[in-house]
Structure 1
């Protein structure tokens, strides 16, 4: 005679299979969450390194532009003559202060040596 109450061995096996499937799904989900968390951390580190590199490259570029703009005046014969011995204040005001500040927005400049 058949057991119609559903408590036979086939029912227990089916319940075990469902429980095992649920456990596999939970382990799979936990592993994926751990993997995504680790990958997110690596991605953040890479992004931070790239941003640092880009920022340093921009700072270096700005320094190169400043050097180039200030260097232009250093090749003039008039500059060498005006700054070689005693400093010609008129030259400094007319050429360095007015020209460099107005054209290149350089607010300060230091004469290191002739």
Structure 2
């Protein structure tokens, strides 16, 4: 059986600068894409948080600023506003809920 000689610097093929530049550019591009994804997720979370706080403050504002309002009238007013803000069923007719639970 013939022994394999150890690799030396002369037998190894040197990596070109172009390879390392491409590898570095790929790493930077992936970091940038990850940053974009994270910042978009943070913006969506902040929007949800703002929407929730506005929804929680709306009944108190209704009671304070609408003369003669009651809890029931403000609740009814909020229900009407929520119903008008939701899209029509015809626009969502093609949408189908997706469930990823497998058994």
Larger of the two Rg values belongs to structure: 1
- TM-score bin (small chain): 0.3 to 0.5
The structure in which a higher percent of residues are helix is 1
TM-score, scaled relative to structure 1: 0.44
**More RCO (CA 8 Å, sep 6+):** 1
